[in-house]
Structure 1
Amino acid sequence: MIKVSAGTAHVLGLKQLKTDAPPTTAYLMAGEKCSRSCGFCPQGRDSQSRSDLLSRVTWPGFQMQEVVPRIAAAFQSGEIKRTCLQVVNSREAWLHTREMIAELTRQTDVPICLSCTRMDMARLEEMLAAGVERIGLPLDVANPELYSQIKGGSWSEQLAFIEAAARTFPGRISTHLIVGLGEREEEICQLLQRFTDQGITVALFAFTPVPGTALADRPPPPLAQYRRIQAAHWLIKNKLVRVEQMIFTASGRLVYLGAREQLRQWLACGRAFQTSGCPDCNRPYYNEKPGGIMYNYPRPLTEAEREQELAFLFSSLKTEPKEEEQCSGA
């Protein structure tokens, strides 16, 4: 059996679903009930959530021989542009993952991404040699103390491994950062710069409370906070502004990104507010409910949406910095 995200199952003709934004990546999941116990994850060891959830998305199961040919056909038609394997950290999941990669590479040339919170360098090398194009090694939590509380283990060790992997396999490593876990905005922006400087692709997520998880009662981040981080990410990864030029309050809130007219020119396309991460990954409604707050747009924004989001972003930023506020790193 392969677990397939509900949106992917719809695109592949395995499930009927009403959606205005079909996924452009086929999302598959290997395994169930991780050996770790991340406080935000329904698949965590201690989670009481439904076993078919990852974030707020359901993942029904189908036979591999039914799924892979449909992915091959959808890739050929252009409906699907890549496949992403979400690997739960368990021995059985890795055995299943090897089988899925072998079948995918045998039947199609679709680019394959793989994401797993725990991996050693030998396994990483094995997966890349087997045909995986990119590997995601999530950091998730931007603050070391919060990392220990929410995910367990060592923040510095995970960060060091991500950076070592990027040096060993340049251009093939991604990571995840979740906004809204109690971190300072300055901490995330500094990491965005650090990862970008090392060629590590970052996917931003808004914290999503899921019933049955340890953090189920924590609210998602304010939209204004998320928009500021999205804008900073876009400017950093496009080498338009560095974190050292940004200004934060003493409490770490981002308040200044640059002159208003220059920002409007750089952000006018609206892509800063779309899903970030690997190419062609749009993750529809991973952090959102249809009709609710749109943290990551899974499609290009309309002109009205672009103007609305820019106005909203600018309302939470200062036009000019004040004396009591300092540039990051000053």
Structure 2
Amino acid sequence: MTQLMMKQSQFLTELQTKGLRLKSADQVHVSRRGGAGPSDHQAITVDGTTLMVPIYTQTAWASPFSLSDDVQNEDVQKQGATLLSNNIPLADVTFAKDPEFYNLTTADGIPYSHIATLHSTDVLATTVLQTCIRYESRRKACQFCSIGQSLRAGRTIAHKTPEQLAEVAKAAVELDGIKHIVMTTGTPAGADRGAKVMCESAQGIKAVVDVPIQGQCEPPKDPVWYQRMKDAGIDALGMHLEVITPELRKAITPGKSEVSLDEYYQAFEDAVAVFGRGQVSTYILAGLGDTEKTIIDTCQKLIGMGVYPFVVPFVPISGTPLEDRPAPTSEFMEAVLRPLAQELVNLDMTSDKVKAGCVRCGACSSLSRFEKEAEDERQIA
């Protein structure tokens, strides 16, 4: 089947798993390289859907997808470009340009882009603590994590204060139309596991601008933190499993695996009771060894609890222990995402109902496109 004959969900899944091969370093403006969040990606808008597409991976270097030869970064930002598949024109695409708030600095001289960055087209993202007790230990670090890379490169600061976050958030909303905010954090050495800094940061932002916020942290030991985060202004919460199978958790996320699956499931139950059904989510990285059945069965359990399972394709990041691990195939992703989307539609827990964060943005996975197609098919039936 050619790309032109595919449903958009299939096409976007293939583009995201295979990546985009650059013919010249000047062709795109790289929005993310190294660091926390979607790294080594470029935000690309195709037919109205924005997707984070890998461009600095071994898979991308061999990808059939590329841009027309004469395209430069300036051209893409102004009038778009043509996406090619094996040199055959396939679709018109546009890339996000640098937001206006990137031109500003704080009173003490810190660039706003070192405090928060634009993800996709209307999402402000920040890693409040750019350090992590897991990352600092080679034995306990998540094998795919690059949270320290952007800090070492001088592209960010170790701790963003509530005042700094509030200043940047206000500017991003007023200058660039930011619609919601994602706040994540490295895990600190405390029983709250990042919940405390989420509260402080949300309070600072909500004091100056009314914008939905998703907080992301490991499950705090005391469930009282869920209500505290909610009261502080966090509208949605992410607690990320990433890997499911116990043996894989120990090998790939050795530090995080010390927080057992049972603890995670209890945390999900406690958090849903506070934030509501569909406003609690978890990342699952497909392609790290969990089987299709394991992922689908786990997702069904999570949905039944009111937790949105955000399944995304694993992207190997340069400089990490898993930098040479290939991305999952598009066939694997479709086999997981299509039934998952159907289940989410059936239970009325789709991504468009999430108030803020990665799931609402949706650019790191084609799952929301599968949801839309499942919705369309249900209406026709």
TM class by smaller structure: 0.5 to 0.7
Aligned-residue offset at 1:282: 3.7
Match of 1:165 in 2: 271
Shift of 1:108: 0.9
> What is the CA distance between 1:208 and its match in structure 2?
1.4
Structure 1 residues 168-212: Cα deviation after superposition (integer angstroms, max 9, x where no partner): 543231111110010110111111211112211222221111223
**How many Å separate the matches in 2 of 1:125 and 1:63?**
22
Q: 1:68 to 1:168 in 2, by over 3 A?
A: closer
With normalisation by structure 1, the TM-score equals 0.62
CA change 1:297–1:237 in 2 (3 A) is closer
The partner residue of 1:71 within 152, 169, 176 is 169
- Matches for 1:1-330 after TM superposition, within 5 Å: 10-14=98-102, 22-36=120-134, 37-43=141-147, 50-52=149-151, 60-61=156-157, 68-75=166-173, 79-91=177-189, 96-120=197-221, 121-151=223-253, 152-153=257-258, 154-171=260-277, 172-239=279-346, 280-283=360-363, 296=366
Contact 2:244 2:295 in 1 (8 A): yes
Judge conservation of contact 1:86–1:115 (CA < 8 Å) in 2.
Answer: yes
Measure, in 2, the Cα distance between the counterparts of 1:97 and 1:12: 26
Query: Which one-letter code corresponds to 2:332 in the other structure?
Result: Q
Q: 1:240 to 1:133 in 2, by over 3 A?
A: closer
Which amino acid is the alignment partner of residue 129 of structure 1?
D
SS at 1:175 equivalent:
strand
Aligned residues: 246
Task: Please say which of residues 200-209 and 179-188 is displaced more in the overlay.
Answer: 200-209
* DSSP-derived class of the 2:322 partner: coil
Q: Normalising by the residue count of structure 2, what TM-score does the alignment of the two structures yield?
A: 0.54
Q: Which runs of 5+ in 1 are unaligned?
A: 44-48, 242-270, 287-294, 307-330
Change over 3 Å in CA distance of 1:118–1:9 after alignment to 2: farther
Q: SS of 2:299's equivalent?
A: helix
Residue 65 of structure 1 deviates from its aligned partner by 5.1
Question: Matched residues in 2 for 1:9 and 1:96: separation?
Answer: 30
Identity of aligned residues (%): 22
What are the Cα deviations for residues 115-136 of structure 1, in whole angstroms up to 9, with x where unaligned? Answer: 1134231222221121111111
Q: Deviations over 1:132-182 (max 9, x none)?
A: 111111111122221122213223332332233324543231111110010
**Matched-pair contact (CA < 8 Å) for 2:144–2:317:** yes
Structure 2 residue aligned with 1:250:
none
Amino acid at match of 1:227: E
- Letter in structure 2 aligned against 1:281: C
Tell me, in whole angstroms, the C-alpha distance in 1 between the residues paired with 2:301 and 2:342.
Answer: 14
- Counterpart of 1:26 in 2: which secondary structure? strand
What is the Cα deviation at residue 113 of structure 1?
0.6
The residue identity in structure 2 corresponding to 1:198 is M
Contact 2:213/2:357 (<8 A) preserved: no
Cα 1:41–1:123 shift into 2, 3 Å:
same
* Local SS of the residue matching 2:319: coil
